Structures are given as C-alpha cells and as structure tokens.
Amino acid sequence: MLNCADLFAGAGGFSLAAQQAGLRVRLAIENDKHAVDTYRKNFCAGSIGPQLFTDDIREINASKAFREVFSDGDQCDLLLGGPPCQGFSTHRLKGSGIDDKRNDLIHTYFDFVRAFSPTAFLMENVPGMLWDRHASALDRFYREGALAGYEIRQPIIVDARDYGLPQRRKRVFILGLRKGLDASDLSWPPAPTHGNEAARRGDPELAPWVNCGAAFFPAASNDQNDVHMTHSAELVEAFRKTPPNGGSRKDSGRVLPCHRTHDGHKDVYGRIDPRLPAPTMTTACINPSKGRFVHPVEHHGITVRQAARIQTFPDDFVFSGGLIASGKQVGNAVPVELGRHLIGHILPLLRRGRAVEKLEQPKTKVDALDKLQTV
C-alpha cells in the first residue's frame, strides 16, 4: 500500500482524502488542541492508524520523525500539508502579512520534504500567497525544492466547483515531483469535470456545477455537530424578513450606522442559496456576521454539520471543541472530495515512483537524513 504523511493536518481533511484515494496515512502533525482531539477520535482509534505528533512542528526533528514512523523500512510516497495561511490572506491590507512569521512555515514544510524524500508532495494554500508582495517567500521555496532534488510544478489555482463540489472555493496547490521520475504523461492540474453554463457550451462533456441543497437535509438526532449560533431577537427578526434561498441583508430592512456610510460586505447576514454552490466555508462559517452564512430558509446561521457537508465531510466525522472551534476546523480543512480527486489523479505516478524506489534501494538513506539536520 502507498504511504503518506500529513503536515499541518488540522481536523484531517487531507488525511481523509488520502485514505479515500487508497493511501495509508502513517503520520499526522498538528498542535491545535481542538483539531488534535478531532483528528485523534476520527483517525487514531484503530491499530494501524497514523502516528499523531502534537508538538509545534518547528520543534520536531524531521529525520527523527521519519525514522520513528517508517522504522519498518517502508517509504513515504506522498507528503501532504497546508501550512497556516493567515500571513498570505487576501484580507491582509497593503503591505501587511509580508513579514508574518507564519509564512515561514512553508519552509518548515520543506524540511520534511527533504527528510522524508517522498515521490511527490502536494501543498495547499490560499491564492494570496501568489501576490507579488510574497514573491521572495515563494522564490525561496522553489530554490529549496531544486536543491533537494525536486521538480516543482507552477502553482495552480483550483476552484472546488469545477470538480463537483457544492462550494465556490479557490485554493492554490503546489505539486513537487522527485527529479528523475518520468512524469511526461502527467497532465496537471487535472481537467475540470464540472462547469457553469458558458463552460459547458465550450465543453459538452462537463457536468453542471453541483448545488449545495443536500447540505441542508435533516441531520441525525444525536449529531453533536448539528448546532448553530444563538442569535438576538432583533437578528432573528431580521432573518425572518430576509427572503429565503439567497436573500441579502438589504432585503431585511435592517440598517446599521456603518451601512449608511459603507455599503460593502453585501453578503454579510445573507442567506445561502441552495440552488447554487455555497460560498467559501471560512473559519467563521457558522457566524452570519462574517459572510453569507444564514440558513436558506430557517432563521439562524448554518450548523457545523451543514458546513462540514459543504466541505464534503461524511456525517460520521465528528468535530470536537464546541461551536466556534469546530467551525474553524471545518473552514481550515482541505475539502475532502477535492483532495481525493487531486490525489487520485497522481496515483499512477506514485506507483511508478515506488517501483523505481524498489529497484534502487538506497542503502545510505538514514545516514543522509541525520546529516540533513546538522547542516
């Protein structure tokens, strides 16, 4: 079986995607206490579950982690991870975020690429990381990749809608391949499978975008994540006046002083339209004051379970930590079905890399790993 490791694993969206694609997750690293609890409960109950490291990743010796996790002499085929992206957020103004220390976590990620020597690595982040202001951080990442023996494909921006997910969500994915691996037949990114009406006129084989209506089917009565925010009577009345299925704040007649001078953020307190893909599930996706996160017809924000369904988590996946912490985990996650689609697309390449590795069987790999940590 092919193996993978998941860095900055969060609640485990990428890990679940890898499992669904047929890989065994050997290692996960995460230190947010609520996400750790979620990950442990959903992935680590069995005897062959991943090892979960909960220290700050900057304090973990990558080569020692490799020796511990792969003590059986097996290899890491794929390294996953989405370093925290707040420093790259498109909401950062002007020059803010350039020197955010969290941006350097993409280089910590690469320490593990060097130590684990996977056939491929797949990193996820927000489109803001491609802004000119962050060019030096990205350039360094590519230089380190070349020095470590990897061909890194150009960043791609993927919209989840184009791959059959019920959400308009754009994220950057960067694919790295070990040099010497024959990837001449790899098309990257994979071709979209879905599109809007204009796209389908150009390509009749595309399916229509998937709407998010199924996310609002009733949940099980014992679902601890079927919870939403409690709102004031004034706000509930505003929701009551907001037309169903896509109504906006202005439709409710609720006008705050800030609305008289600034009419931006029109989606705030708006209802989700179940006939369309949902808006991006953010870390505040359960809070109607942060976006279009009001239930299509009911008079409250969406539940954690509804947000998780939009992120294509199955209903038996349970998030820990309470309403706010759970919503944050959902918003931070790689959508499961999108991750599965991307990983599935490169599976033939991973199998090819494993065949090459078996032929070569480098004898000095562990010694080389020790040297990496002392340079």
> To 10 degrees, what angle do helices 33-43 and 13-20 make?
20
Say which amino acid occupies 182: D
Query: Is-contact 272 296, C-beta < 8 A?
Result: yes
The Cα 272–Cα 297 span in angstroms is 9
Predicted pLDDT at 375? 43
Structural domains of the chain, ranges and CATH numbers in brackets: 3-202+333-372 (3.40.50.150), 213-332 (3.90.120.10)
Question: What's residue 93's pLDDT?
Answer: 40
- Name the pTM for this structure: 0.90
> What's the pLDDT at 223?
98
CB 77 within 8 A of CB 1: no
221: burial class by Cβ within 10 Å (0-12, 13-18, 19+)? exposed
Using CB atoms within 10 Å of the CB of residue 315, give its burial: 0 to 12 exposed, 13 to 18 middle, 19+ buried: middle
- Give me the average pLDDT of each 10-residue run along the chain (375 residues): 97 98 98 97 88 96 97 96 60 44 69 95 89 80 87 95 98 95 95 97 97 98 98 96 93 67 73 98 97 98 98 98 98 97 97 82 50 48
Q: What is the 3-state secondary structure (H, E, C) of the chain?
A: CCEEEEECCCCCHHHHHHHHCCCEEEEEECCCHHHHHHHHHHHCCCCCCCEEECCCHHHCCHHHHHHHHCCCCCCCCEEEECCCCHHHCCCCCCCCCCCCHHHHHHHHHHHHHHHHCCCEEEEEECHHHHCHHHHHHHHHHHHHHHHCCEEECCCEEEEHHHHCCCECCEEEEEEEEECCCCCCCCCCCCCCCEECHHHHHHCCCCEECCCCHHHHCCCCCCCCCCCCCCCCHHHHHHHHHCCCCCCCHHHHCCCCHHHHHCCCCCCCCCECCCCCCECCCCCCCCCHHHCCCECCCCCCECCHHHHHHHCCCCCCCCCCCCHHHHHHHHHHCCCHHHHHHHHHHHHHHHHHHHHHHHHHCCCCHHHHHHHHCCC
Catalytic residues: 85
Token pair 């390449």 in the structure block, residue: 349
Q: pLDDT value at position 370?
A: 53
Q: Is 153 left (phi over 0), alpha (psi -120 to 50) or beta?
A: beta
Residue 363 has what pLDDT?
45
Amino acid 241: pLDDT: 95
> Looking at residue 297, what is its pLDDT?
98
